[in-house]
């Protein structure tokens, strides 16, 4: 869960007791939701609230001292609040984290001088000052709401997801394992543009991975991974044991390298060097990493790996990587998305076969191509996303939207998903016009709004949300 810096603000000629009540309510709510709070104590300021410049300095120091813990800041306005105190506290803390602004409802039977809040008005003043200071902030769904309301609970859940994406992406380390396949200029990207947003690319030559995997003995660790692979999916009897052992060694080698380099995600040169020079596919190893929260993209597509990671951060669920591949009959809002595939087990949601690559197997030899996770994706909600670096124009841009996996029949090879996306033809036109790749990351969730807020507002990337 998240740790929030909490600012409860008050203004002198409004009832300060409301700030005391609001402080208790927000702390109780965050505790109930499983979140932690960093907040001034009632001995630091009157009721632990922020009103004056001195209060703001105390709050800023407290936040700064806890900068490694704080994922975002929540501003609570139990009454009008003090906009200058709020903006000074945030500005002086220099945390550069997302900010959520809440204001409390007034009750019509409590509009006398002893009980009225005027938070409705005070929120406008706070947001005006945040805008003047160029401090990005997230608004609640309703302009004012009760702290104990379900609406505010959903707002905090949304904000927590935004904070996870922002924090995770700003410090992401992505492993580039091997070179991109020669024919795929589509997956070229700019390390420099990514680094400007705090994203580091860690590079290793595929030969180093192959050599390390080949050098492994059949240790207990290797045989334990073999057992894990056999329990992961259904392997046909015709697959030789030695091919499963090769996959286990590759899996351990890649995971060790990623751990040693503190990488959160990876992209792998998945064809055809690994098959020809080592003797297995990478899909299964990538699938198992994705299931553990370490997404891995095909064909050395670094921005694809980041797209998978952003979806994982937003939802907490594994992501898959696919091609926008085929039309589905004449239903122009449906399409077929396929990869060999590296879908995580829970992404598939049912028993599946682990066997040889089909297309590459025919070309390179099936005996070199064990490790494809073959299944039709089960129906359910879906969010799709793709990050790309627009090197020519010097910017990072993203498209994101929501649709569903359907149960429509399809009989073809590999990992297959039939997808329904409202306005699909317009989305395809956007992708073509704006130079996005044929790849797309997908996740079994509904988190398009989270990615739009996190990547657009807080990371400053150009985000198109389809059918918003």
Q: Cβ distance 110 to 116 under 8 Å?
A: yes
**pLDDT value, residue 12:** 79
Helix H or strand E encompassing 281: none
Residue 45, both tokens: 């300021």
Residues 6+ apart with CB under 8 A from 414: 338, 339, 340, 341, 358, 372, 374
**pLDDT value, residue 461:** 98
Residues 212 and 179: their CA atoms lie apart, in Å, by 17
Identical topology for domains 3-170 and 173-465: no
Confidence of residue 16 (pLDDT cuts 50, 70, 90): confident
pLDDT, averaged across the chain? 96
Residue-wise pLDDT for 441-453, tens only, equals 999 999 999 999 9
Residue 116 has pLDDT above 90, yes or no: no
| Domain spanning 3-170: CATH 3.40.50.10940 | yes
Q: Cβ distance 428 to 380 under 8 Å?
A: no
Residue 219 has pLDDT above 80, yes or no: yes
Ranges 114-123, 148-157, 312-321, 430-439: which has the least confidence: 114-123
Average of pLDDT values for 111-122?
Answer: 85
Residue-wise pLDDT for 206-218, tens only, equals 999 999 999 999 9
**pLDDT value, residue 111:** 72
The CATH number, out of the four listed (3.30.420.40, 3.40.275.10, 3.65.10.10, 3.30.1300.10), of the domain defined by the range 173-465: 3.40.275.10
With tokens 């670094």, the residue in question is 302
Confidence of residue 112 (pLDDT cuts 50, 70, 90): confident
User: Is the CA virtual torsion 69, 74, 79, 82 positive or negative?
Assistant: positive
Residue-wise pLDDT for 52-92, tens only, equals 999 999 999 999 999 999 999 999 999 999 999 999 999 99
Residue-wise pLDDT for 366-385, tens only, equals 999 999 999 999 999 999 99
Confidence of residue 108 (pLDDT cuts 50, 70, 90): confident
Q: Is 402 helix (H, G, I), strand (E, B) or coil?
A: strand
Residue-wise pLDDT for 253-309, tens only, equals 999 999 999 999 999 999 999 999 999 999 999 999 999 999 999 999 999 999 999
Residues 402 and 156: their CA atoms lie apart, in Å, by 21
**pLDDT value, residue 346:** 92
Residues 126 and 86: their CA atoms lie apart, in Å, by 7
Residue 114 has pLDDT above 90, yes or no: no
**pLDDT value, residue 465:** 98
Residue-wise pLDDT for 410-441, tens only, equals 999 889 999 999 999 999 999 999 999 999 99
**pLDDT value, residue 29:** 98
Residue 44 has pLDDT above 90, yes or no: yes
Residue-wise pLDDT for 160-203, tens only, equals 999 999 999 999 999 999 999 988 999 999 999 999 999 999 99
**pLDDT value, residue 15:** 81
Residue-wise pLDDT for 222-255, tens only, equals 999 999 999 999 999 999 999 999 999 999 999 9
- Give 292-328 as a 3 state SS string: CCCCEECCCCHHHHHHHHHHHHHHCCCEEEEEEEEEE
With tokens 């390179």, the residue in question is 364
CB-CB neighbours of 28 under 10 Å: 12
Residue-wise pLDDT for 21-42, tens only, equals 999 999 999 999 999 999 999 9
Residue 340 has pLDDT above 90, yes or no: no
**pLDDT value, residue 106:** 92
Average of pLDDT values for 317-341?
Answer: 96
Average of pLDDT values for 146-158?
Answer: 98
* Dihedral class, residue 164 (left if φ above 0, else alpha if ψ from -120 to 50, else beta): alpha
Domain boundaries, the chain: 3-170, 173-465
**pLDDT value, residue 14:** 81
Residue 115 has pLDDT above 90, yes or no: no
Please give the biggest Cα pair distance in the chain: 83
Residue 107 has pLDDT above 90, yes or no: no
Residues 104 and 10: their CA atoms lie apart, in Å, by 12
Residue 339 has pLDDT above 80, yes or no: yes
Return the DSSP state at 377: P
Q: Report the Cα 214 to chain-centroid distance in Å.
A: 34
């Amino acid at each position: 869960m998240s740790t929030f810096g909490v600012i409860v603000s008050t203004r002198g000629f409004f009832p300060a007791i409301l700030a005391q009540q609001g402080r208790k309510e927000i702390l109780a709510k965050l505790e109930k939701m499983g979140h932690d709070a960093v907040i001034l104590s009632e001995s630091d300021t009157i009721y632990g609230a922020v009103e004056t410049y001195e209060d703001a300095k105390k709050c800023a120091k407290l936040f700064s001292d806890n900068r490694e813990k704080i994922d975002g800041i929540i501003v609570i306005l139990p009454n009008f609040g003090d906009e200058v105190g709020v903006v000074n506290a945030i500005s002086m803390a220099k945390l550069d984290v997302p900010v959520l602004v809440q204001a409390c409802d007034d009750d019509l039977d409590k509009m006398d001088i002893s009980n009225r809040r005027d938070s409705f008005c005070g929120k406008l003043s706070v947001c005006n000052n945040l805008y003047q200071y160029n401090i990005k902030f997230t608004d609640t769904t309703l302009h004012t709401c009760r702290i104990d309301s379900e609406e505010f609970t959903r707002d905090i859940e949304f904000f927590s997801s935004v904070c996870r994406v922002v924090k995770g992406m700003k410090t992401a380390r992505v492993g580039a394992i091997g070179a991109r396949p020669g024919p795929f200029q589509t997956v070229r990207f700019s390390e420099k543009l990514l680094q400007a947003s705090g994203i580091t690319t860690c590079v290793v030559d595929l030969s180093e991975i192959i050599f390390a995997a080949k050098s492994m003995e059949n240790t207990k660790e290797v045989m334990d991974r073999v057992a894990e692979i056999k329990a992961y999916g259904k392997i046909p009897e015709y697959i030789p044991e030695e091919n499963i052992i090769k996959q286990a060694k590759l899996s351990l080698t890649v995971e060790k390298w990623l751990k040693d380099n503190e990488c959160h995600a990876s992209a792998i040169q998945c064809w055809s060097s690994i098959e020809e020079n080592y003797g297995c596919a990478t899909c299964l190893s990538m699938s198992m990493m994705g299931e553990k929260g370490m997404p891995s993209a095909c064909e050395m597509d670094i921005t694809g790996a980041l797209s998978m990671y952003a979806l994982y951060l937003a939802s907490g669920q594994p992501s898959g990587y696919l091609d926008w591949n085929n039309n589905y009959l004449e239903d122009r809002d449906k399409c077929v998305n396929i990869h060999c595939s590296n879908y995580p087990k829970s992404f598939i949601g049912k028993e599946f076969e682990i066997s040889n690559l089909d297309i590459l197997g025919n070309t390179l030899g099936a005996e070199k191509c064990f490790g494809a996770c073959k299944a039709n994706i089960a129906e359910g909600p879906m969010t799709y996303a793709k990050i790309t670096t627009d090197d020519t124009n010097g910017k990072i841009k993203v498209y994101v939207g929501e649709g569903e996996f359907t149960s429509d029949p399809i009989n073809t090879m590999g990992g297959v998903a039939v997808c329904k996306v409202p306005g699909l033809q317009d989305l395809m036109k956007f992708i073509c016009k704006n130079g996005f790749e044929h790849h797309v990351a997908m996740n079994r969730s509904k988190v398009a709004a989270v990615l739009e807020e996190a990547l657009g507002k807080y990371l400053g990337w150009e985000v198109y949300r389809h059918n918003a």
